Amino acid sequence: MIITSRKFTLVLCLVALFAGGLFGQNISSALQGTVIDPAGAVVPSAQVKVLSTLTGATRSVTTDNSGLFRILDLEPGTYNINVTAPGFKGYQQTSIQLSANETRDLGKMELTIGSSGETVTVTAEAVAIPVE
């Protein structure tokens, strides 16, 4: 009976030890970039909206004082991004492929002076750069 109890305790400890690793698996990704104006100055408080083409889910953030944004915890898939700011035309980039555990830096996204009702669409894909 003591041997069975010890084996049970050992198995229970091993299960508890390795079960934590199952919850540690993370496949979420991120998009980041910098919003600038035609002169190269950063655009703070720009609205950045990301749309998953697979699920239709959207996420929105605002650029910080350095014009930077980062959208975390995105599922792998294809995304469209829209950037708007008062006094500028909207910026749109489509078909951004995001892999598991990837942080995609979209680089500098230049807004054009104009009405916010107008949109500049970028169709070229951003190149994936590994971030370590």
DSSP result, 92-130: EEEEEEE-TT-EEEEEEEEPPBS-TT-EEEE-SPPPP--
Ranges of the chain whose pLDDT falls below 70: 1-3, 5-6, 8-26, 116-132
Give the global pTM. 0.70
pLDDT score of 117: 62
Tell me the per-residue pLDDT of 113-126, one tens digit each, with 9 for 90 and over: 987 565 566 655 55
Q: For 19, list phi and psi in degrees, rounded to 5.
A: -65, -30
pLDDT score of 47: 98
